[in-house]
Amino acid sequence: MVMSVFLYGLALFLILNLIAGLVRVLRGPTDADRMLAAQLFGTTGVGILLVLAEAQGLAALRDVALVFALLAALATVAFVRARRGPGSSEGEAGG
């Protein structure tokens, strides 16, 4: 009983962190700040799902957390590739 109350309290704390991150997404000031806040959403979302999976004993939430972690990594790669520009690639020599 005490452990589940702790886990639900931890999930609430993580949700409050998400709300604080939403302020950063809305205010910016740069695209990089917004992307870092989006990464906060992904990481915190995974954390919330893992905490709730443990509190409720639902293994399916762990699977959803893994999918979210993969999507967050792909979103970061897409952001970096978009910021590099359409003509750049890894194999090109700078100069």
Query: Are the C-beta atoms of residues 68 and 47 closer than 8 Å to each other?
Result: no
Helix (H/G/I), strand (E/B), else coil: 22: helix
Name the more confident of 10 and 21: 10
Locate the domains of the chain by residue range: 2-83
In this model, does residue 95 exceed pLDDT 50? Answer: no
State pTM to two decimals.
0.74
Cα(34)–Cα(83) distance, rounded to whole angstroms? Answer: 13
Dump pLDDT digits (tens) for 45-85: 999 999 999 999 999 999 999 999 998 888 888 888 887 77
